[in-house]
Homo-oligomer: A and B are copies of this chain.
Amino acid sequence: MSKAKRQIKLGAFLMETGHHIAAWRHPDTHLAGGLDFSHYAQLAQIAERSKFDAVFFADSVGISDTNLASLSRTARADHFEPLTLLAALSVVTKNIGLIATVSTTFNEPFNVARKFASLDHLSGGRSGWNLVTSSSETEALNFGFEQHPAHAVRYERAREFHDVVTGLWDSWEDDSFIRDRESGIYFDPDKLHTLNHRGKHFKVRGPLNVARSPQGWPVVVQAGASDAGRELAAQTAEVIFVAHQTLDEAKVFYQDVKGRLVKYGRQPDDLKIMPGIFPVIGRTHDEARAKFNALQDLIHPDVGLALLSKMTGGVDLSKYAVDGPLPDLPETNGGKSRQQLLFDLARRENLSIRDLYLRIAGARGHQQVVGTPESIADQLQQWFEEEGADGFNIMSPWLPGGLTEFAELVVPELQRRGLFRTGYEGTTLRENLGLPRPGNRHAQAVRQRAAG
């Protein structure tokens, strides 16, 4: 197998007791796993043994408690703050990437730049930042807002936020530190750079009080799939986590986003597109289907309706007939791309409200694959080879069992086909993903001056 052969990238998207909304009721889940470090340590180590590129954590800075009857039937209301958790996981892992979601709407860029740089130093170059603008009113109300900031304003702020953070990451040149005891010079003052950013949303002087980190910049990940989201990703992201239902949809998205890169001077390989996959694995198709149905049977109708309401932008669907069609919904300020995805799905397959909530209860709009290790590998291979994906973010239905099955049954099948690594290529997340290490803008300026 040639080293240059393109291979699948894999993320382990971890979530409490699993991605299926009723996973906590599954007899084999770690019932109180949401706030148990040993649960996550075990999961990260399973993924690392199988050579996953990264573990990934979503995040929300608030609880949507408007429907307590439904919420109290889920394990979704409390969990670790992801960066805190990943710092701890850095100690019990060696190679796997550590990607945390942090919102640009409810944080200050100096704090975010510093925390990811710290995690990158802690982990020897394995940190990644999933940059989100957050999509729920619930979160905004925890941060002094009377309502959620508008979509366009959030994206404008996010772009400037990214500029500030990456600027701060370049505060120190890579070779700033001399540490010569004899002369008493600890660092070269010419290699420390003050940012002096003054923009529409931020005034940040800098410099950052953390040295440039092993990866130069921690890997930047995004998940927004709206037009504004795609454009921001084409300009700034190195990985996109995205939800697709069909290969055709995935190919259109892939081509669209990769096509946007050129105007920012980037190569198609500089951005990895990784759709979410919700795998239910059986020795036979019937066994897989039975496993899936057993999970679906655990969903209380209140929970299904509330999930659907949340994912369609906060509209209350309880007043509509559960076995009737999805009504037309008003324009909302929530995440547009996911709303559109669900409407397209329901119209395409003529789904009732109940059908739809059962459909999204596991994968939340991502692709469900229910089958044997071979059939699942077939599908991943097809999506990968036909350029619908560079890799996949694996959303195990229940944990740890669902991840263990993927690691023991599907990963070896992908390896046999030469589609997935059998050993890590490098020591940093960037090296394993095949992403270039960004040069420091100031070091480049110096080189250009010297050459000019």
Q: Which residues of A contact B (CB under 8 A)?
A: 22, 24-25, 27, 31-32, 35, 37, 60-63, 65, 68-69, 71-75, 77-81, 83-85, 87-88, 90-92, 106-108, 110-111, 114-115, 117-119, 121-122, 138, 141-146, 172, 177, 179, 181, 184-189, 192, 194, 202-211, 298, 300
CA distance A165 to B98 in the complex (A): 28
In the assembled complex, the Cα of A209 lies from the Cα of B144 at a distance in Å of 17
How far apart are A296's CB and chain B's nearest CB, in angstroms?
A: 14
Q: B121 touching A179 by the CB < 8 A rule?
A: no
Q: Would B209 and A60 count as touching, CB distance under 8 A? A: yes
Q: How far is the CA of A204 from the CA of B106 in the complex (A)?
A: 12
Contact A187 B143 (CB under 8 A): no
Chain B residue numbers with a CB within 8 Å of A74 are 186
Asked whether B207 lies within 8 Å of A110 as measured between CB atoms, the reply is no
Assembly CA distance A187 to B74 (angstroms): 8
Known contacts: A84-B87, A205-B141. The answer to whether A106 contacts B115 by CB under 8 A is: no
Closest residue of B by beta carbon distance from A34: B211
CB closest chain-B residue, reference A87? B87
Contact A181:B31 (CB < 8 A) given known A118-B81, A122-B84, A186-B24: yes
Report how far A45 CA is from B83 CA in the complex, Å.
Answer: 23
Chain B nearest CB from A41 CB (Å) reads 8
Question: In the complex, given contacts A74-B186, A78-B172, A85-B122, what are 4 additional A-B residue pairs having Cβ atoms less than 8 angstroms apart?
Answer: A80-B122, A106-B110, A108-B144, A141-B205
A122 touches B73 (CB 8 A): no
Q: List 13 A-B contacts (CB under 8 A).
A: A24-B181, A35-B210, A62-B209, A63-B207, A72-B189, A77-B192, A78-B172, A81-B117, A84-B119, A107-B108, A142-B204, A144-B202, A144-B203
The verdict on A118 contacting B84 (CB below 8 Å), with A32-B177, A108-B143 known, is yes
In whole angstroms, what is the CA distance A19 to B23 when docked? 50
A87 to B138, CA, bound (A): 27
Query: What CA separation (Å) do A145 and B73 show in the bound complex?
Result: 44
Q: Cβ of A75: which chain B residues have Cβ within 8 Å of it? A: 179, 186
| Distance (whole angstroms) from the CB of A365 to the closest CB of chain B | 22
Q: Are A81 and B114 in contact (CB-based, < 8 A)? A: yes
| A110 touching B189, Cβ below 8 Å | no
A210 and B79 contact, CB distance less than 8 A: yes
Complex CA gap A206/B63 in Å reads: 7
